[in-house]
Amino acid sequence: MELPTAPAGKGCVPWQGLLLAVLLSTFWNPPTTAQLTIESMPTNVAEGKDVIFLVRNLPGNLAAYGWYKGDKVDHHQQIASYKIGPVEITPGPVYSGRETIYSNGSLLFRNVTQEDTGYYTLQVINTSYQGEVGTGQLRVYQPVAQPSIQASNTTVTEHQDPVVLTCLTNDTGISIQWFFNNQSLQLTERMKLSQDNSTLTIDPIRREDAGDYQCEVSNLVSASKSDLLRLDVKYDPTLGSSGLSAGAIGGIVIGVLAGVALIAALVYFLYIRKTGGYDGLSSCSAFSKANRHAWEREGDFNTVSGPASVPPPS
Ligand SMILES: *[C@@H]1O[C@H](CO)[C@@H](O)[C@H](O)[C@H]1NC(C)=O
Ligand SMILES: *[C@@H]1O[C@H](CO)[C@@H](O)[C@H](O)[C@H]1NC(C)=O
Ligand SMILES: *[C@@H]1O[C@H](CO)[C@@H](O)[C@H](O)[C@H]1NC(C)=O
Ligand SMILES: *[C@@H]1O[C@H](CO)[C@@H](O)[C@H](O)[C@H]1NC(C)=O
Ligand SMILES: *[C@@H]1O[C@H](CO)[C@@H](O)[C@H](O)[C@H]1NC(C)=O
Ligand SMILES: *[C@@H]1O[C@H](CO)[C@@H](O)[C@H](O)[C@H]1NC(C)=O
Ligand SMILES: *[C@@H]1O[C@H](CO)[C@@H](O)[C@H](O)[C@H]1NC(C)=O
């Protein structure tokens, strides 16, 4: 391939050379031609707070700065001008008393209001009266007000009505989060949030849901939590929180024990049949015998006699 430094034939501009020139201009972007940029710090500001417009890529040999409200240089919208050496600051028609221009061109804006939202333009002029312009944007938001929290009922009975908690706010453009006992709420399969998170439905309610609920609203610049709302859940202590009664659990246990006892009795009965009676047994036989009769009695009331008819052990 032909080297770009080698001259091309007369009257013929090599396209490779043009391409290289474009490539070089993008790679070797000289810092002096870097665009003047204005950045608002922070980008989103709460009303009443201060903001600074930082100026980057300021050119050299500067003679003066001018700050303007809006996205262009308009002398009717001048905030202030700053002349360098000797320093001379002149307020413009829209100066509000809250702005300060620094020697590096940055503009400090104190106690901003929502009306300050918009574009701001800086014009810089060098000693040969050549100008450059940069524009930045300021977004001022109202901090959110404290929300309130409401419940369909703050004293509820376990497994009965659903509980609906509502986060009340008049602010818009917000997001909502829920807290339970001062921790971020962990949603269970019994809980459902509305699309905007403003309502929390718990259905069915369980004793472990009792506690302090709180909602928090936030926007880009602020956050605020509601007061705590205490939810009391009344429950039957004989019931498990899953809804299975202690009686039912007891029944299952007794049933299993009875089954085991029945099998044991059967094994014992077969053993007695095989060994031919109680004769060879120890002193515990009386108890065992009575027990056997009890089991037999349970099995058949009509045909089996009570323990009273059994002769005492020898
Ligand atoms: C310009 O000066 C101000 C005040 O001294 C300072 O806060 C700011 O960081 C400076 N701006 C830049 C871009 O360094
Ligand atoms: C900020 O501005 C508001 C009106 O916009 C004013 O009531 C308040 O006193 C100002 N605060 C400060 C600290 O200057
Ligand atoms: C002023 O700015 C112009 C355009 O950016 C530049 O050509 C000129 O050299 C600058 N003058 C000085 C004294 O830096
Ligand atoms: C709240 O729930 C309790 C228990 O379920 C019930 O007795 C009471 O009537 C309910 N109150 C309201 C206002 O619905
Ligand atoms: C919302 O606005 C209404 C009417 O101005 C007011 O009564 C209510 O207290 C406000 N609610 C909240 C949560 O700020
Ligand atoms: C709703 O809450 C969840 C987690 O609690 C959060 O990730 C999500 O951003 C919230 N959505 C809105 C619209 O507030
Ligand atoms: C949550 O925090 C508040 C205040 O910080 C406190 O009064 C309350 O007892 C806490 N609740 C729990 C369940 O930790």
Judge contact between 116 and 109, C-beta under 8 A. Answer: yes
- pLDDT at residue number 202: 96
Share of residues in the chain with pLDDT > 70 (%): 70
Domain locations in the chain as residue ranges: 35-141, 148-234, 246-309
Q: How confident is the model at residue 14 (pLDDT cuts 50, 70, 90)?
A: very low
165 lines ligand 1 (CB under 6 A): no
Which pLDDT tens digit goes with each residue over 58-104? 999 999 999 999 999 999 999 999 999 899 999 999 999 999 999 99
| Rounded distance from Cα 247 to ligand 4 centre (Å) | 27
- The arithmetic mean of pLDDT across residues 182-206, rounded, is 96
Q: Kindly report, residue by residue over 245-300, the tens digit of the pLDDT.
A: 555 655 656 666 777 777 777 777 676 676 665 554 444 444 444 444 444 444 44
Rounded to 5°, angle at Cα 212 from 210 and 218: 135
| pLDDT tens, position by position, 203-232 | 999 999 999 999 999 999 999 999 999 999
Judge if the beta carbon of residue 177 lies within 6 A of ligand 6. Answer: yes
Asked, colleague to colleague, whether 35-141 and 148-234 share their fold, the answer is yes
Look at ligand 7, atom 1, and give the residue with the nearest C-alpha: 182
**Mean per-residue pLDDT over the chain, rounded:** 80
Residue whose Cα lies nearest atom 11 of ligand 1: it is 54
Q: Which of 8-17, 50-59, 275-284 has the lowest mean pLDDT?
A: 8-17
Ligand 3 neighbour 130 (Cβ under 6 A) = yes
- Give the strand pairing for 131-141 and 107-109: unpaired
For residue 105, how far is its CA from the centre of ligand 1 (angstroms)? 8
- Homologous superfamily of 35-141: Immunoglobulins (2.60.40.10)
Query: How far is residue 93's CA from residue 91's CA, in Å, rounded to a whole number?
Result: 7
For 148-234, CATH number?
2.60.40.10
Residue nearest to atom 11 of ligand 4 (CA): 153
